[in-house]
Amino acid sequence: MAIRFSETLEKMKESDLGPLLKLTEQPDIISFAGGLPAPQTFPLKELTEVAVKVREKDGVGAMQYGPSLGYAGLRKAIADRMNRLYDTHVSQDDIIITSGSQQGLDICGRIFLDKDDVVLIESPSYLGAINAFALQQPRFVEVPTDEKGMIPEELDRILSSTPRVKMIYVIPNYQNPTGITWPLERRRQFMEVVNRYEIPVIEDNPYGDLRYEGNEVAPMKSMDPKDLVIYTGTFSKTLAPGMRLAWMVANPVILAKMDAVKQSTDLSTSCVSQREVALYMTEYDFEGHIKENCRLYAHRRDVMCNAMKKYFPESVHFTYPHGGLFTWVELPETMNARDLMKDCIDHKVAFVPGDSFFPTSGKKNYFRLNFSNCDDERLEEGIQRIADVIKRHM
């Protein structure tokens, strides 16, 4: 049967995550591939209590259709928390609730991009965002980055010489895949450039709450006089990804466009999940829960990084993230991480090759490791297996 599919599907970068995540179902595979939170961080007891309370207090509202912008109680709880933590001035009327941050990225692509428009991204960048935007058939331009994030001078150069730039996508906190965090001065420099050209920015912050050292760095949304920044946050990394709850903050003009697209896709996000999380945020110790998560993840990061120091050859380098879920490994330029991955899978350990995160340059000698979802023994054993394969490929 000759089934004809949309041409836009051809624009999507083939994802390694689907096949690699299937490997995690095999108990003998040590997987560093996905960005899965540790199951023991899910507050199951509290969420069970919350589920009962929601059904007792507002069962009809929870089971009915809801507004596409989202449940007002949850939007207010999010706004209050952002203003308390980040010195923003966000109102619940600035927020739309989405079914995970991936839906938010898809909505952004739909409202901004036409075929052959330009999206500027970090080099490397999050594969899920690349694929979400690719459905609109844009052109991706990678902006060079260093250990402090996107380089403002390079951004300025590209904006001055590239027509049809419609938006910029960045992850300033514990970036996926590199784990890098932009310092405050870099964020200010970035926003100076953005404000000159008046280009919308998607500030994706799925990992910002998972900070293991240092002080909170203000989001770019808090230094946004022209209201160009669309801020995205999620509960997937702090509560549970199965809740499928995230949010975006945007100016009224952009928010109205988002609301229209949201109505045409799923009408609204789960009214049950929204009420449950709103109640959890207001009646339980959400900040204490996050601190407990951070203690576990910081320990696992240290176990993985110490194992890499111990077993990896000196010519292999990696980032030491101060938060988030990932570290980024750089092999010698002559090596190909995809070839390495095939051999590693034969040795029952998995990671994501780095070329997946470069939409145009396709650099071959990098790979991403996740440390959140394995215990100490599997972290150590998995790194030792990868190290053995690396040495054989040298």
Query: Six-digit token pair at 211?
Result: 């900070």
Mean pLDDT of all residues in 68-85: 98
Distances (CA, A) of 242 to 277, 285, 331: 12, 20, 35
Report DSSP state, residue 269: S
Domain boundaries, the chain: 13-43+288-393, 44-283
User: What crossing angle do the helices spanning 152-161 and 184-197 adopt, rounded to 10°?
Assistant: 10
pLDDT of residue 20: 66
The CB density around residue 327, as the number of other CB atoms within 10 Å, is: 22
Paired with 31 in beta bridges are 350
Rg of the chain in Å (alpha carbons):
21
Strand 95-98 relative to strand 246-249: parallel, antiparallel, unpaired? antiparallel
Contact 322, 306 (CB under 8 A): no
Query: Six-digit token pair at 342?
Result: 């095939």
Chain-centre distance for alpha carbon 92: 23
Residues belonging to the chain: 394
pLDDT at 17 exceeding the cut of 90: no
CATH code of the domain made up of 44-283: 3.40.640.10
pLDDT at 7 exceeding the cut of 90: no
pLDDT of residue 28: 87
pLDDT at 27 exceeding the cut of 90: no
Nearest to 179 by CA among 22, 35, 339, 27: 35
Contact 100, 93 (CB under 8 A): no
pLDDT in tens, 346-379: 999 999 999 999 998 878 999 999 999 999 999 9
pLDDT in tens, 268-311: 999 999 999 999 999 999 999 999 999 999 999 999 999 999 99
Q: Is 372 left (phi over 0), alpha (psi -120 to 50) or beta?
A: alpha
Query: Under CATH, which architecture does the 13-43+288-393 domain have?
Result: Alpha-Beta Complex (3.90)
Q: What is the C-alpha separation between 209 and 227, in angstroms, rounded?
A: 23
Instruction: Give the pLDDT band of residue 2 (cuts 50, 70, 90).
Output: confident
Q: What is the C-alpha separation between 263 and 253, in angstroms, rounded?
A: 16
Contact 62, 54 (CB under 8 A): yes
* Reported pTM: 0.95
Instruction: Give the pLDDT band of residue 13 (cuts 50, 70, 90).
Output: low
Least confident of 9-13, 40-44, 248-252: 9-13
Backbone angles phi, psi at 236, to 5 degrees: -65, -35
Alpha helix (H) ranges present in the chain? Answer: 17-23, 44-63, 72-86, 101-112, 127-134, 152-161, 184-197, 252-265, 271-283, 286-311, 337-346, 376-393
Q: Express as a percent the part of the chain with pLDDT over 90.
A: 90
Amino acid symbol at 172: P
Amino acid symbol at 316: V
Contact 277, 54 (CB under 8 A): no
Nearest to 41 by CA among 212, 209, 322, 237: 237
Amino acid symbol at 214: G
Mean pLDDT of all residues in 119-133: 97
pLDDT in tens, 207-260: 999 999 999 999 999 999 999 999 999 999 999 999 999 999 999 999 999 999
Distances (CA, A) of 226 to 5, 8, 28, 32, 49: 41, 33, 52, 40, 42
Nearest to 366 by CA among 382, 352, 350: 352
Mean pLDDT of all residues in 58-79: 97
Mean pLDDT of the chain: 95
Query: Six-digit token pair at 269?
Result: 């996000």
Mean pLDDT of all residues in 191-213: 98
pLDDT of residue 10: 66
Q: What is the C-alpha separation between 320 and 326, in angstroms, rounded?
A: 9
pLDDT of residue 3: 82
pLDDT at 264 exceeding the cut of 80: yes
pLDDT in tens, 127-160: 999 999 999 999 999 999 999 999 999 999 999 9
